[in-house]
Chain A
Amino acid sequence: MAENLNIEVSPLPRVEGHGDLVLNVKNKKIEKLQVRIPESPRFFEAMLVGRPYTDPSHITSRICGICSVAHTFTSLKATESALGIKVNDLILNLRKLVNYGECIQSHCLHVYFLAVPDFLGIGSVLPLVEINPAVVNIAVKMKKIGNELVRVLGGRAIHPITTVVGGFTKLPTVEDLNYLKDMLVSLYPDLETSLKVLKTLKIPDFERETEYISIFDKDEYALYDGDLKSSDGWIINPIDYLDKIKEQVVEHSTGKHCNASRDSFMVGSLARTNNNFSQLTDNAKTYAAELGLKSPCYNTLMNNIAQFVEIVHCVDDSIKIINNFLDSGLDKDKAMVKVKAKAGRGVGIVEAPRGSLIHDYTYDDEGRILKANLIIPTNMNYANIEKDLYALVPMIIEKSEDEIRLGCEMMIRAYDPCISCSTHFLKVTLINI
């Protein structure tokens, strides 16, 4: 039991980029609780100024190696909206496929290498290799398949090449599509095996209702495109996002904090399943039911389960898209639509694996950027993470310092620290040697 606590985790292990947790408790009362982000600022909004419309997707892809696809597409959509370009169904579906690849890859790392050991209380995947090595192999395979979708269709697994304003510089062949389809289909037994393991996990009890924000499309479970939707009851066109989403600079963080209808909100898988559950594939819904994921769900730690359900959805829908391509064939003349520079403003929103991502560009007559604004999902979540920690700490204050530290770390990681998982990842492979 802790009367007074001074916990400082710096850097937070297994989170992508650099973050610190500071928690000071005095007489069982929280005196200070901060998630600090001392990560070097990059100034992308400045880098973009003056660049021609062909550049932003390649520049902003470099914001994050883990969600480079999401940045690429958000950027392309913002530019295409500003230039008044409408892409055809072939381009749209091919982009969805690339986006699913990144989602599978990113969620896979998080769910298997982070969530599983955390929730089993084993601290790392290490013991899991002895208990259930099959799951570890599944995770490596699944991550690779996600990467392969991006590599084959995008030309490279990180920072895709073929994805440009107006379409694709190169289309996949029938052989490419069959290669990807066979790999995806081979994942179904693996998803079944994973389900059995995930069902044994004890997700800690926690409940704090908050505002959930994601995109929404009336025709499908929205990941690539849609309007911005809040669980607080509003839906807006992306171009009006500034009416709802507010950003502030805070002193302990180079990442800005955000709020919308209330003082904080959550984005990411759980926000998406909360907002758009009924649009998941039937298969994904069955997995959700097996794992006790309902909509709405107010337990932030269930975000890991929501991610797994989304993997199932991405696999299902990827196969459907590929089958349609194989039936209809890919018309090379449709790979690109006509692109012409003009002045205008455009906003793109895509669901990155860890939440809604917003790019907002204003172009001049020559198609050069005058102004850019980017809002990153992690920034959107910071305020909500701190609120969850404020709710969590009193719940676990009677536990040991180590348990409190772990509880806080788990809460932060539940928001999707992407590469984080790799901690366990490396440990796994080392003991195989």
Chain B
Amino acid sequence: MSKPKIGVFGLTGCGGCQLEVLNFEDYLLDFLNAVDIVHFTEAISEHEDTYEIALIEGSVTTKHDIERLEHIAKIAKIIIAVGACACTGGLNCLKNLYGTEKAKTLVYGDKKDWIDTIDVKPIDEYVKVDYYARGCPPTRSEIVNIVTSLIMGKVPEIPSYPVCVECKRLGNTCLYELGMICKGPISRAGCNARCPSAGFSCVACRGPIDDPNVNAQTDLLERYGLTIESVMEGFNLYNACKKIEQKSK
């Protein structure tokens, strides 16, 4: 794929993933040399529907989001979900936990019928997603790596091992040893254990690994006198849409 045409889109989210693209700073020039950005809602006024690769941020939370997503999927040959909201539904799914109708009443009161909102879902519930740049937000290099791999005709390498692997490699003290509850053992790596390295428990913003070692996690929890519920509450922060609880049992 030589100099592919790229579209960058935002559904419902904070704009942070798109901002990370603008934060490329040191390699923005090289990136723009390798691709042709033809659509970038948040950054360029001019746009055309000729993109081959679509980078999509945000989850689906309105009927309008569905229409836009389906339109994008008709044009793009490859779809890359960027960030937790697009990949797992992310934090937005907390609205589902609370209850969508209840949430509308709470925030907009008797004016709630003016508001278009539906249960939150990740984008792969509606369209086929080819690659996932996970995390909240994903690392800059990760987005670049996926796109450059595609240009070079390689399959992007996306880790499917737990965050603990990266933590060990960095020589971090295990946060369980420091009395914290970390979701690292069953969470997907690729962030270079960013949170544990900063002294903060992994919150599984990249979702669970494909085949988590549930027994080992259960043993670990028992060893530190913890329950599965205490871990799940933190897990739900970014993964409430994916029903991790059932998967991990």
- Interface digits, B8-21 against A, CB 8 Å rule (1 contact, 0 not)? 00011111111110
A158 contacts which chain B residues (CB < 8 A)? 16, 19-20, 23, 137
**Could you tell me how many residues of chain B have their Cβ less than 8 Å away from some Cβ of chain A?**
58
> Given B40, B107, B109, B197, which contacts A41 in the complex, CB threshold below 8 Å?
B107
- For residue A22, CB closer than 8 A to chain B, the reply is no
B15 in contact with A16 (CB, 8 Å):
yes
- For residue A52, CB closer than 8 A to chain B, the reply is yes
A419 in contact with B22 (CB, 8 Å):
yes
- Distance between Cα atoms of A344 and B204 in the complex (Å): 30
- Distance between Cα atoms of A317 and B87 in the complex (Å): 40
> Given A51, A68, A155, A419, which contacts B200 in the complex, CB threshold below 8 Å?
A155
A58 in contact with B111 (CB, 8 Å):
no
B32 in contact with A429 (CB, 8 Å):
yes
Given contacts A45-B106, A55-B237, contact A433 B199 (CB under 8 A): no
Given contacts A52-B233, A429-B28, contact A155 B22 (CB under 8 A): no
B91 in contact with A62 (CB, 8 Å):
yes
- Distance between Cα atoms of A51 and B106 in the complex (Å): 16
B-contacting residues, A116-155, CB 8 Å: 140, 143-144, 147, 155
B106 contacts which chain A residues (CB < 8 A)? 43, 45-46, 49
B91 in contact with A419 (CB, 8 Å):
no
Segment of A26-34, A162-170, A186-194, A283-291 in the binding face? A162-170
- For residue A328, CB closer than 8 A to chain B, the reply is no
- For residue A157, CB closer than 8 A to chain B, the reply is yes
- For residue B37, CB closer than 8 A to chain A, the reply is yes
B102 in contact with A161 (CB, 8 Å):
no
> Given B13, B98, B198, which contacts A162 in the complex, CB threshold below 8 Å?
B198
- For residue B65, CB closer than 8 A to chain A, the reply is yes
A43 contacts which chain B residues (CB < 8 A)? 95, 98, 103-104, 106-107, 117
A430 in contact with B32 (CB, 8 Å):
yes
- Distance between Cα atoms of A249 and B199 in the complex (Å): 41
> Given A11, A41, A64, A169, which contacts B198 in the complex, CB threshold below 8 Å?
A169
Q: Closest Cβ of chain B: how far from A423's Cβ, in Å?
A: 5
- For residue B187, CB closer than 8 A to chain A, the reply is no
- Distance between Cα atoms of A249 and B97 in the complex (Å): 24
Given contacts A11-B41, A52-B233, contact A17 B95 (CB under 8 A): no
- For residue B167, CB closer than 8 A to chain A, the reply is no
B95 in contact with A46 (CB, 8 Å):
yes
- Distance between Cα atoms of A221 and B248 in the complex (Å): 51
Which residues does B use to contact A, with CB under 8 Å?
11-20, 22-23, 25, 28-29, 32-33, 37, 40-45, 61-62, 64-65, 90-92, 94-95, 97-98, 102-104, 106-109, 111, 114-117, 136-137, 194-195, 197-200, 203, 233, 237
Known A-B contacts: A59-B237, A169-B200. Give 13 more (CB < 8 A). A41-B115, A43-B98, A47-B94, A63-B14, A66-B19, A155-B194, A158-B19, A159-B16, A159-B137, A161-B198, A251-B114, A419-B42, A422-B42
A–B pairs, 26, beta carbons within 8 Å: A40-B12, A40-B61, A40-B117, A43-B95, A43-B106, A43-B107, A43-B117, A46-B106, A47-B94, A47-B97, A52-B233, A55-B237, A59-B91, A62-B13, A62-B16, A62-B90, A66-B19, A147-B23, A156-B194, A158-B19, A159-B16, A159-B137, A419-B15, A419-B18, A419-B42, A423-B45
